[in-house]
Structure formats: structure tokens, C-alpha cells
Amino acid sequence: MSFYDLIVSRRTVRQFQQNPIDEGILKAMVNAGRLAPSAANHQPLEFVVVTEKYLCQKIYPFLKWAAYIAPEGDPKPGKQPVSYIVTLVNKQIKTDGYQWDVGAANENMILAGWEKGIASCWLLSVNRKEVTKILDIPNHYLLDSVLALGYPEEDPVAEDMDKSVKYWKDGNGRLHVPKRKLDQVIHFNGF
């Protein structure tokens, strides 16, 4: 697959197969995150990779999925994520303006995973206090977001947006994701 095709074929997935992800793939994903652009090259980010089943099960209740269609978009029983990559901000390095770094790192990790067939859902709706406790994260780190991972058990489709940004599921349970049309967002040489 070309890199462009990899980018456009990526969709957020919330239903996962239960086979584990090879540790080498998870390491490659974090490596892709580590090497992302970083404002002033400060590199405030660190990553917790969660592979243990009991930890995945402890974290899961503290995540919120697909708010527009809840609870329909939640992972079904037996289709929960099998790994997580949790993005931390080292507050001794930076306490604000790190969100751009988080965005670049997470998209790198998402695409590096997708190249290997790993699907993901990037979550900001996280009970940070509880997940911080579960993972023993020290005080000088801020938990920014959680990347839920696994081989995909659904095949969402992006389509041109009509009126609403709200994703929806059809009668077969397939997720449809409206995207603003290219000619609505592209402006050559000014407006």
C-alpha cells in the first residue's frame, strides 16, 4: 500500500480481535511517536505500553467511546482493545503547549500501527485520575490521552459530509464517518 493509501484508509476502530499484538510492533509504534516533530525539540512526551490483560481490563471502564452514538459504538463484549499506548507529558520538561507534539506523535504511532494491520482509537475521554493510579504514573507526569489498539473487527467507512459531523451506524452495524468535502476545505492562493 502506498503511504498516501495508508493515510486515507485509516479509520478509528472500536471493535477489536482478541489476538495479541507483537511487542516488536508496539515498540516500532512508540519509536515512530518518539521521532515525531516536537516544538523547539523539547520532547516532553513519554509512553506507557500496556500489554497485560489484567491491566487492559482495569483500564477499560475508565474510557468513553463514540459519544455521538453511545453506547452503540462501545466495543462489544469480547471485542475490547488488547493493548494501549498511553501518552504522558513530563511536566519537568513542559506544562503547556505540548498538544501539538501529542498530535504529531499519536498520528505517527497510529499510522505506523496501521501499516502493520493494527487498528486504533485515540481517546481523550479518559478518567485520567483512575488510569494514572492503575499505571502507577508519578506526579510529575500528566496523562494526556490513550491509544486503544488491536487488530480490527470492524471496517468503518469515510464519506462526504452532508449536514452533520455525527458518525452513525447502518443496519449492518457498519460505522459511517462524515468528512467535509475536499472543495469545502481547500483554498488555492487565498480565498
Nearer to ligand FMN, 22 or 124 (CB): 124
Nearest to 53, CA basis, from 12, 16, 27: 16
Rg from Cα positions in the chain: 17
Nearest to 86, CA basis, from 154, 151, 141: 141
Strands 83-90 and 119-123 come out as: unpaired
Nearest to 149, CA basis, from 47, 37, 38, 4: 47
> CB of residue 123 vs ligand FMN: minimum separation in angstroms?
4
> CB of residue 13 vs ligand FMN: minimum separation in angstroms?
8
Nearer to ligand FMN, 26 or 110 (CB): 110
Residue in the shown chain whose Cβ atom is closest to ligand FMN: 125
Interface positions with ligand FMN (CB under 6 A):
11-12, 14, 64-66, 121-125, 156, 167, 177
Place of cell 480481535: 17
> CB of residue 75 vs ligand FMN: minimum separation in angstroms?
10
Nearer to ligand FMN, 79 or 190 (CB): 79
Nearer to ligand FMN, 16 or 65 (CB): 65
Nearer to ligand FMN, 22 or 99 (CB): 99
Number of other residues whose CB lies within 10 A of the CB of residue 103: 15
> CB of residue 21 vs ligand FMN: minimum separation in angstroms?
19
Q: Which amino acid is at 145?
A: S
Secondary structure letter of residue 75 according to DSSP: P
> CB of residue 30 vs ligand FMN: minimum separation in angstroms?
18
